Structure formats: structure tokens, C-alpha cells
Structure 1
């Protein structure tokens, strides 16, 4: 049917005359044209050979002429401010683009929140602009009076969307999105497709304007849609996505990828707080430094293999195995993020600038601790047990172990370096339940210089990596004995000795021949014998070097069936490297450790002040704490007190550094005091100065028998003391008869005090040394000693439930809040949204109990600075029973305790840790299996595997 339509407009009806060659039609309903969004239907009625079309309109038809963008000064100024805070993006920049102006930019959400305050948002929504009014014509639900202004700043998605529309100069179109989504479901701008915008959100706009706004939105949305790396889960991003990288430097290239050092904007990387098995390096601006590995292989096989291996290895949480941070795909490029390490072992041993340690006594070099660490890590890979399913075991092989793949990372809070095995792209795992074999069939693509003779054979077994490890140990030994010359000297250096020419082919392999004829090169064997007889070695160090070389020779057995296993290597290495201060006093062979004791803490060096800090006389000494099951301690520090025995019940620990906001020159002072005047010990009034916080925390954990959370800086603390109802009435009556005492009575009734706090942390008692009366009735029921309330049901004192505590360090005071059912920790509804730094301790139910208990430990011990009686610090009892008694003696009743943190992230983290440990404690005292793992225990064990 051919139809000719002519439209005429009346007040509420559009009439169309249709000429048709078809027979008359009684009635028909036709779809609406694209620009008639405000009409409900098109009705056609038959009139002989003519058809009359009527368009019933609910709203006036929109203006079909294009609408210009907003030109208001407020909008233009706001756009300029947004442009000023934009950060250069290096995600899509090639090496040829050096001009900063050519770079993309992204706008951090935190910067937008500083610009788009609630008052500023209200000004924009209510500004008077003809063009902006036309932007909403035909969509009344999107008008600013239809939603509260605070919704725009309620979520990151909303504020980013609003900023983008301001940038495009169509700010009031934000109502189109807020009318379609609630706050929780509103997506980030990058998730809106061209179809979503053109045919849904902007449908009311004239066609030309709609197409223009849609295109501009699509072009600019990436600047306001930077994804946050909140966890390590895999993400697939569109190729135009801007990632939160603000700097990038190439650092290496391998067979399957390139490696870059990337600097991340701190706002978009929150998984950096999850320090599993390693440290994340931040610069002075708080920017996170990571290593990004870009997989070149287009079929993604190597990416999937390495990603799977890394995720499996991450479950081990071993400090000497590199931990994956995140994996993602950007367009067609696969990426893996790791903590950035300062260098690799190859360069570490060959370049002075990295400061590899040199020790005059080879056997005591700190390098052996790291060699033992990577050996343990490798053994975990070869005999892999799934931590989540201990019955599931795998046989694993790294297959590309070499110094380039061992990264050197700094131990957090220390000047020591840590070796970490990396690059698991070649690693293979075989499920022993399926394959039941320790042999792998197939070729290997690793580096041949560190590979065993079976490198290119069709079959290899679980000792493949043992050969590679032996070469690495020999390189470390060469450096330990002769320094860089031990590797690079043109006559005696291992790097040159290993290179031979056979049939005009230069080879750096450690072996010659193939298959059954393979053997270690004679030049290598001669070099090892030479090294063991180096004239610079002391006699006992010669024995150490000879024993280590003999171990390496057994690891370099050409026949894999006869090669020593990793389990035996680890056992022999522990025996060999056990030549250290915890087992033998320097060079004398005198055993320090007794059979019934275990080493609780061992530090290579502390500064020891036998006459107190005031005496100015100090010495560098190893520091070792030995303990047994009867709460006896032997503390070795300096030559005069190595055999002194101490009972935990008789000693207090004084943590001087906890009572200062800043630690000068990494001096963490610790001292000891006696619990009672009639008890003395050889460490009383003697001071130790430890050079890093991690070691100081280890000492605190060992001596107090408490698991620790990280400590957080506190800015302010307000305490409201408890005043009983009868006392309040008495004070009120006194005020009526004696008006002059009003102010003093008021103060006594509220007893509110501002205390200057410094640090706050959580403690959790270690189970193996719990009191027998861990929870007497006083600890479980916090009722005051009065007759006004009924006694509560007592908790069974035989239950061994580890008690948690909140501990606040002040200038000359320690405030302790033991876990109690009557006390709760309160926070703002959403700390991340409100950025609130305030947490409040208050009674759980004021109708039943309107107070909670805290303990104030005051000092009677000389402080480190002056040693005077006026400058005193509180001591922490080392035994749980003594700590409990001290808490009861120093107990006060509180109505409220407000703690203001230095930043909101610390407040949020302490709240999370507290809620987890408190929930576990409540479950345990009820005899219920806790639903969650202890975060404090995991934190302590990740840094101190012994615990």
C-alpha cells in the first residue's frame, strides 16, 4: 500500500491526511516515529479512499531543532577546574609520544569531591540557563527538583557522571540517569553503551543533539571512569579504558613478555594493603610502585598458565615466593601485576650499587638465611599441598630457576633484603592423585645455562630444579668469599670459568656431554676445589665452604635418578646454616640453646646500653630470647647475661617508642623492669635500641605472648567516666542547696577528660600459654561491686578462650579495654563515604548495663630520655596472669570513650579487625566454632612464621 501523509497541528490533535491505493481500512495502530516520543499512539480511521490519521498527544511534541550546550560562567569555570586536576595517563602512550599534551588524562574522584561540594552542586543544579532548561524539555522526571542534590555526591559513580556532563556542558542531564537508577545500581560512566545513551537516557533530545551528546559522552567517558584495583581478581577491560598508571618505565624483556615499572595513583589501588608474602613499595607521595608484566603471546596460553600457577602459589603465602597482585586484560593485551623489587639476584651479586652484604666470617653471612629461604620456597613448589585441601597434593617444577628470576625485595620496616622466586610461566604441576608419578614427559623452554643435562630430553623428574639451585648457591658462595671478583674476574671468576668451547660452540652450561655421557665440566670442579682452599678463609670458614661445596656437588649429579632430592637438600642446609648465634656462640662451639627451649626471637644486632641511655656507653650485640613451657626465659644480650634465667611473672616490658609520635633515626627503645620491689633481674634498667619497627614488634610478641595488629596513630581521645545514678542525684541535690558548687559538681558528675593518645593496637592472647582462669566471672560480667543489680551468669572458667584487648598508648599512660559483652565499638554508617576518623566505645545495652570497664596503667619506671623519677613510663606484665591482676587493680568505669584517628583508613581497618576478633571471642566463650579465621593470628604468622 502506498501512503501519502500530511500532518496538521491543532491544540491537542495532529491530523494526517493519507492517500491510499489500497482498499479502505477500518482501523489500525501504527508505531510511533522516532522523534514523537511524547505521543502515545497513532490511530488510523477509514474514510472511503482517504484515511484520516489522528495522533493523540500526552505531552507537547519536542522541539526538533538542535540545542546548544550550556554557556553559563559557573559551568565554564567548573569545567576549567576539572581540567586543572586531571592527571596524565600513560596507558595508551607509545614510546614515540613524548609531548605531554598528546597524552590522555584522567580525573581522580578525590579531586572531584574537593571541587563538587554539596553547596557547589546545588549552585549548578539551580543555575539559570536557557539552554540547560531546553536540555530537559520533554523529560520532567529528570528535572533537578525531582531528586535531592546529595545523591550526586553519594557515590563515586554519580559524582563521576556529573563531572563528565559538566565537562560536556550538559550538567542537568544527570537527572536522566538518577531517575533511571538508584544509588547502588548506578554504574560507572564507562559501562554506558551508545545504545543506552541514544535510545534510553537521551531519547527526549532532538535527534541531532542526541547524536552529538552521545558521541561526546562515548569519547570522554574514559577520563571519568578509571577502574579501582580493589582486589586481585581478573578483570577484562575495553581497549580504551584508562588505568590508574601515572608513570611507567621499561625494565626488562623476556621470551613471552615485557616488564615495566609502573607508578599507580594511590586512590585506585587498595589491594596494596594486603601484603601477602611481601611488601608493596610506596614513594613519598603515597604512590604505589608495582611491576607490570605484559604478555606478548597472542594465543594467551602462557598468560593463562602463569596466572594459574601464580594463584596456586599465592595460597602458600611463603615469604620467599613472589605474590601476584592482579591480572587483567586490556583489549587484546594480557597483564600481571607484582610487587616491584629493586633488582634481581644476578645484578645484586655483580653490581656494587645494590649493596649485597659482605661479612668477614663467611659462615655468618646474612646471605645464607636468604638461600635457605628460597630453598624452602622451592620445596613447597616441588611438594605442593593445597592449603585449602590438605589431601590434595601436586608434584611441581619451576623449570626456569636462575638468578634473573630471583628478585631482591626489601623486608618491610628493615634495611635487610629478601630473596623471592619469581617468573612461573614455565612452572608445571601434576596432580599426584591422577598421575601418580614424579616424572614429566616433554621438552622444557627455560634457560639452558642453569638447566640440568636432561634439559632437552623427553623426560625429567622432581630433581630438575635442584641442579639449577646448586648453580645459584655457588654464585652466592663465590660472592661471599671473593666479592664481585668471585664471579667476574677474567681468570678465576665463575662467569668466565663456566664458558667453554666445544666443536666451535661456546657453552655456559655446567655440564658437557649428553645423556648418559653428561658430566660436570672439569673447569667447574677445579674452580670449586680452589674456592674451598682460598687463602683468605679462616680455618673454620674453610670447613663451612667445603661442606657447602660438597652439598652442591651432590646437587650437580648428572644422572637425575641419583641426584639428591630437595627434601634432603633442605635438611642438610638447615644443619649447615645453623652455625649462627642462636645455636653457637661465635666460633667457640658453645651451645646456647637447651633441649627444652625454643628460640622465640633472634636478632642479628641490637644496640645495648648496660648503664641505661643516660650512661652513653653502648655496644652492638646479638639479641636472642629463649623460652620453655614453664614460662622461663633466657635472654641473651651481651656477654655478661647470656645464662640469666627469668620468670615471666617477675618482669615487665617497657616499650618507650610506643609513647612517642616519632622515632628518631629508627631507634626503637625497649627496657625491662621488675613486677615488685622485692624482685630483681639482671636486665632491670637496661635499655635496648632496635633499628627497625618489625624487629621491635617481634620482641613485643615474644615477651608479652600476645598476637598484635598493626599500630595506628591516634589524634585525640575523649573519656567520659561513669557516675552512678545515686551519685548523680546526690550531686543534683547539692546544686539546689549550694549554687556555688554547681560547676564543680557538674564536672564530678560527668568526669569527662581529654587525653592525648599516640597509638592504638589490638592484642590477642596466644592460646598455648593461657591462664587456667582465662575468664573468671569478673572478666565476663562487668557489673560494678554494688547491690543495685543482679549478678549475671558466670562463664565457665575452664574454657581456654584467648582474650582480646584494645590498647591505647599515651604519653605516660596505657589504656586497656579488654573484650567484654557489655562493651561495643561504634562507627559512622559508612566510613569510606563519610571519611570519618571517629570510633566510639560505649555500653552495648544501657538499659542493662550503662558502663564498661577500662584499665589505666601508669608509669613507675624511668623513661629513656632522662632516667629521672619524674619521667616515668608504664610497664606491661609479661605473664597473662600478672597482666590480668594489674588490669583489675587499675580498673575504672567508663560511660563513653571517643577515639579520633589520624586518618579514616586507619579507623576503618581497626574497626574491621576489632569486629572480627570480638565475634570470634563471643563464639568461643559460647562453645561455638568461630565462623571466621583470626586476622591477628594470620598477620603475626605472615611476618613471624614461628608463631
Structure 2
């Protein structure tokens, strides 16, 4: 141990002044990496070493300074902070001479399960030796046990992870249970902020800007949010990120979901949600995504009536094309894990026994992607993404394999559920027919028709349409499905609900009706909303037809607006 140094004390004080607390009110802290780099410049490191080791000649001082600044900056910060707390400074050069660098952090307990431990390099965790006592860092061998414990604890102050973006892969981080996350905003434990489902939990965080290069706000979004100068304006410019934590702790469940999400993200379709990174923390798997202010249903509610102007209507039409294109990407995706048959979620079965049927997947379809739960709540609106203007963009989300497999129970707060009856599920489920990618086409048709309704009649029209569909179904349950089931003897059949057909005819008489609206309604009625899956359009042709409609609308305002 070395005597205290004024330079070291000043450096430690500056670093401590920059520490931030996580979790909120958790009494644990991290120092942002940019502050470490800012305060541990070469001159500062050299001054500390010179004061602690006055006997060191210029050559030795230069060599030690360069080594620390290039390979052991975090380690140096840990030792300086430890020394400022405990009194004498540890023998920094002895530890560095033990060939410990930042690559070896965090320092691991040796032996890992003993209360009497020393510290070793991170890779020691995979050490095959039966007797580990000699695996520790030799420079620490003379340290007292409580000093070792303090160093083991204090190191986390400078080890908050940095999440980086890579062009060709999605990085997976395996984090120690003691990790302090670099969150400067965390809504996990705030009332009403957590979204919980059968497979995952989702909440909002903000990562310190120096600890992520995953995602940045668009310039227009930053300008809108920073109009007023205040302390809050800086926080408003830090991107909000959605953390999705899987309920399952099984690695195979994570691998299945991660494989699909990663590969779809690398397709770079602008209308598919982008997976930013993944991490394992406290034996649970987490996914990071951009956080959306609104889902499509909330967007409809907030923007109650579309302005019947070229820019506005064309944007809506282009979003429909974009969503269809994204669906085609999903449908063309070959999964590494076959999407076999499964039962409905127990909660759905309990609330509506007639839905207690087995989802039987067509064998020829098992290796192709399906979304399996398309609904307005699973389409997000972003107004803060780079490369998109203030009008924003819609993206399909909730692409987990649980959604590929199952008819999951909806949230009890989900407005699209009436007594456990999922509004957008196609009839083949209840009819116990084979499920294919056509499953999504029916769901998309329902959303499509609601979208057209919103374009013409606003959110009030969507509510009126839902009320028009409300009937007591064959199992005496009140639902708002787009089809009706009926029996002929022991056989079940389905037909498009008459109220849906009547609604389409009503839209054809709307004052905003145009040839563009005509073509959209024809597409929904004739090619998408078909009970027989063989009669439903495929995603590739749907994309092609919509592309032609958009091209015509872009060049012909009369076709677009009437």
C-alpha cells in the first residue's frame, strides 16, 4: 500500500462527483464512461503515478502511464477510488505488473463460493482447476479479507456496460449479477408503467448517452423537444428504450426468439421493429428496442380525424404499403426452429371454452415466419426515428416466437378483447383447420378495414364499427369478431359477419370516397377477408397491388382524394 496523494485524492473526488444512482433509491451508483475518460487523461494519470511513486524514473513513468491509458483505465480508476475510501493506496504498479487489464474486469472471486476469497481475472470463472486458491492475482495475496471485499464491491462503480451498435449482428451481453445498469431513467417499478403479458414484461428506460450507440433521436425530434431551455430538456433528448424481459429463464426460449428477431432486424425493413441489443442479467433474458410513444390504436385516438389533404392521406396510404411489405418480410423468413402446433393460452380457454382448440400448423408452413398476433396494439408509431420526418412511421412489433406459436391471452386492459374473444383472430382457429401464413392476412384485413374507417370517419368511426359488429355468438358470448360461426349438424362453418359487409357498403357511400378508397375496399373484401384460407391473397401479391395503388395516388390527386 502507498501513502495518500493529493493528485489521487483530487482525481477520486472529481470522479465521485459524477456518479449517478441506479436503480432509483437503490444506493448503488455508476460513473459514466465519458467522465472516466475525461478525468483520466495522460497528464492526470502521470501526476498521480509521480506522486505515489516519486522514485520512478521518466522512462518507467512514461511506460506505466501509456499502459494504463491504453489498457487499464478502468482498473486504474477502481484502484484510485478504492484508495480514497480506505486510506493507503493499493500498490497499483504491482497489480498492473500482474498483467491485469480492463479486459480482465470484473475481478472474480477466488474461490467463487467461499466467504474467504481473493480476486482473480474475469476469465477465471471458467477455470477447470479443482483447487483455486493459487488462481488469484498475486499482488492481492497479502491484502486483508475486508479490503478484498471492499475492492470486489467498489469495482462496479466504473463497470456499467456500454451497449454498442454493430452493422452485421446484434450484440448479446452476459452481465454479472452485481452490474450497475447505466440507466438515467427507469420506469420498471413505477406504478402503471410495466406492461405484463404471458411471455414477457416490458417497461421504459433511458440509457446514459455515453453508454449506448444503439439509437439516437432524429434531428427534428430533438428540435421539437428542446425548444425550451431547462434541466429537463437534456433528459428529453435522451432516447427512450423499451426493455422486454422474458418470463421464461430457459436459454432455448431466448435463443429461439433472439434468432428470429436478430435476423429480421438485419433485413433492415423500416416498418419492422428494430432489435437493438440483448442481455442476460440475474438469470433473466432481456431485449432492447426503441420505445414508441403510441401504438396504432392510441394514434387513432389521439389523431381523431385525418385531414383529407394529399400529404396526410398519402402518408396513411404509404404506411399501409409499408406494413404489408414488412409482413411479406416476416412471411418469407425461414425460421431455424419449426413453428409447430400448440394450444391456446389457458386464460383464453378459461374465459371462453369454445376457443380451447389446438392450433394445428400446416406442415409445409412450419419453417416460414408468421406473426400470429397482428392487432393495432402491436403496430407502433414512432415520430423520433432517424431518417423519418415528423409525420412518423408505423412499425410491426411483438415478433416473439411465443406469438408465432400461440394464441396468447390478451391483457385484461386490452380494448380489443371482449370476454376473452380475440377480435383479430381468423376463423380457422375455431374451425380447427390448418394454420398457415394466411392467418396473418385475415388479421391484417381487419386492421386494414379499421384503418380505412379511420381515414374516412376518424376514431369515432372505429368505435361505431366495433359496436356494429357486437353480437351474441354461437357460444352465448358477446363478441366483436369479423366472422360468425354457425353449425350444420355436428359441423362448424364460418362466414364474414354481415355487419362487416354492411359496413364496407356504408364506406362506399362516404363523402370522402375516392377511387383509391374503392381499390382498398375491393382488396380487403375480395382478396383478404376470406374465410377459406386458399382464397386469401399472399403477402407478396398484397405488397405488389398496394405498391401500384400508391404509385397511382402519388401522381394523381383526383384518384387519391376524389
- TM-score w.r.t. the length of structure 2 is 0.73
CA distance in 1, matches of 2:79, 2:535: 70
Q: 2:210 aligns with which of 250, 253, 267?
A: 267
Residue in 1 aligned with 2:324?
375
Matched, 1:86 2:61: no
Matched, 1:346 2:297: yes
Q: 1:546 aligns with which of 489, 493, 518?
A: 518
Matched, 1:568 2:541: yes
Deviation track 1:296-325 (CA, whole Å, cap 9, x = no partner) reads: 223355433321111121232111111211
SS of corresponding position for 1:580: helix
Deviation track 1:791-817 (CA, whole Å, cap 9, x = no partner) reads: xxxxxxxxxxxxxxxxxxxxxxxxxxx
Shift of 1:332: 1.4
Deviation track 1:893-936 (CA, whole Å, cap 9, x = no partner) reads: xxxxxxxxxxxxxxxxxxxxxxxxxxxxxxxxxxxxxxxxxxxx
CA distance in 2, matches of 1:581, 1:454: 37
Q: Is the 8 A contact 2:216 2:239 kept in 1?
A: no
Q: How does 1:316-331 map to 2 (within 5 A)?
A: 316-331=267-282
CA distance in 1, matches of 2:318, 2:67: 56
Matched, 1:405 2:378: yes
Q: How does 1:413-812 map to 2 (within 5 A)?
A: 414-426=389-401, 444-445=407-408, 448-456=422-430, 457=432, 459-488=434-463, 493-502=464-473, 503-513=475-485, 516-534=492-510, 536-537=511-512, 541-554=513-526, 555-582=528-555, 584=556, 586=558
Residue in 2 aligned with 1:256?
199
Cα RMSD for the two superposed structures: 3.7
CA distance in 1, matches of 2:300, 2:141: 69
Q: Is the 8 A contact 1:202 1:210 kept in 2?
A: no
Larger Rg: 1
Shift of 1:77: 4.2
Using a 3 Å threshold, how does the CA distance of structure 1 residues 530 and 363 change in structure 2: closer, same or farther? farther
Q: 1:111 aligns with which of 23, 35, 55?
A: 35
Q: How does 1:354-369 map to 2 (within 5 A)?
A: 357-360=306-309, 364-369=313-318
Deviation track 1:662-707 (CA, whole Å, cap 9, x = no partner) reads: xxxxxxxxxxxxxxxxxxxxxxxxxxxxxxxxxxxxxxxxxxxxxx
Using a 3 Å threshold, how does the CA distance of structure 1 residues 288 and 576 change in structure 2: closer, same or farther? closer
Matched, 1:242 2:180: yes
Shift of 1:336: 0.4
- The answer for unaligned runs of 5 or more in structure 1 is 1-66, 94-99, 134-139, 387-392, 430-441, 590-947
Residue in 2 aligned with 1:152?
68
Using a 3 Å threshold, how does the CA distance of structure 1 residues 497 and 200 change in structure 2: closer, same or farther? same
Decide which structure has greater strand share.
1
Deviation track 1:548-571 (CA, whole Å, cap 9, x = no partner) reads: 222212311112122232233233
Deviation track 1:334-380 (CA, whole Å, cap 9, x = no partner) reads: 1001122221111111224xx87422479944201000111011112
Q: Is the 8 A contact 2:485 2:493 kept in 1?
A: yes
Q: Is the 8 A contact 2:206 2:241 kept in 1?
A: yes
CA distance in 1, matches of 2:146, 2:299: 57
Q: How does 1:16-31 map to 2 (within 5 A)?
A: none
- TM-score w.r.t. the length of structure 1 is 0.45
Q: How does 1:254-333 map to 2 (within 5 A)?
A: 254-272=197-215, 285=234, 287-333=238-284
Decide which structure has greater helix share.
2
Using a 3 Å threshold, how does the CA distance of structure 1 residues 499 and 172 change in structure 2: closer, same or farther? same
Using a 3 Å threshold, how does the CA distance of structure 1 residues 163 and 344 change in structure 2: closer, same or farther? farther
Q: Is the 8 A contact 1:359 1:365 kept in 2?
A: no
SS of corresponding position for 1:193: strand
CA distance in 1, matches of 2:502, 2:244: 40
Deviation track 1:438-481 (CA, whole Å, cap 9, x = no partner) reads: xxxx8644763211011253621221110011011111111110
Matched, 1:229 2:163: yes
Shift of 1:222: 1.2
Using a 3 Å threshold, how does the CA distance of structure 1 residues 160 and 569 change in structure 2: closer, same or farther? same
Residue in 2 aligned with 1:608?
none
Q: How does 1:903-918 map to 2 (within 5 A)?
A: none
SS of corresponding position for 2:553: coil
Using a 3 Å threshold, how does the CA distance of structure 1 residues 120 and 166 change in structure 2: closer, same or farther? farther
Q: How does 1:35-114 map to 2 (within 5 A)?
A: 75-90=8-23, 100=25, 102-114=26-38
Shift of 1:420: 0.9
Which structure has more RCO (C-alpha within 8 Å, separation ≥ 6)? 2
Q: Is the 8 A contact 2:109 2:119 kept in 1?
A: yes
CA distance in 2, matches of 1:128, 1:581: 72
Shift of 1:588: 11
- The answer for unaligned runs of 5 or more in structure 2 is 111-117, 121-132, 188-192, 227-232, 336-365, 411-421
CA distance in 1, matches of 2:368, 2:99: 51
Residue in 2 aligned with 1:122?
46
Using a 3 Å threshold, how does the CA distance of structure 1 residues 72 and 161 change in structure 2: closer, same or farther? closer
SS of corresponding position for 1:545: helix
Using a 3 Å threshold, how does the CA distance of structure 1 residues 266 and 443 change in structure 2: closer, same or farther? closer
Q: How does 1:884-923 map to 2 (within 5 A)?
A: none
Residue in 1 aligned with 2:91?
173
CA distance in 1, matches of 2:42, 2:277: 35
Using a 3 Å threshold, how does the CA distance of structure 1 residues 79 and 505 change in structure 2: closer, same or farther? same
SS of corresponding position for 1:293: strand
Q: Is the 8 A contact 1:314 1:324 kept in 2?
A: yes
SS of corresponding position for 2:428: helix
Using a 3 Å threshold, how does the CA distance of structure 1 residues 223 and 551 change in structure 2: closer, same or farther? same
CA distance in 1, matches of 2:529, 2:105: 59
SS of corresponding position for 1:241: coil
Q: Is the 8 A contact 2:198 2:409 kept in 1?
A: no
Using a 3 Å threshold, how does the CA distance of structure 1 residues 577 and 77 change in structure 2: closer, same or farther? closer
SS of corresponding position for 2:292: coil
Using a 3 Å threshold, how does the CA distance of structure 1 residues 171 and 481 change in structure 2: closer, same or farther? same
Q: Is the 8 A contact 1:165 1:173 kept in 2?
A: no
Using a 3 Å threshold, how does the CA distance of structure 1 residues 152 and 450 change in structure 2: closer, same or farther? same
Q: Is the 8 A contact 2:12 2:81 kept in 1?
A: no
Q: How does 1:815-894 map to 2 (within 5 A)?
A: none
SS of corresponding position for 2:263: helix
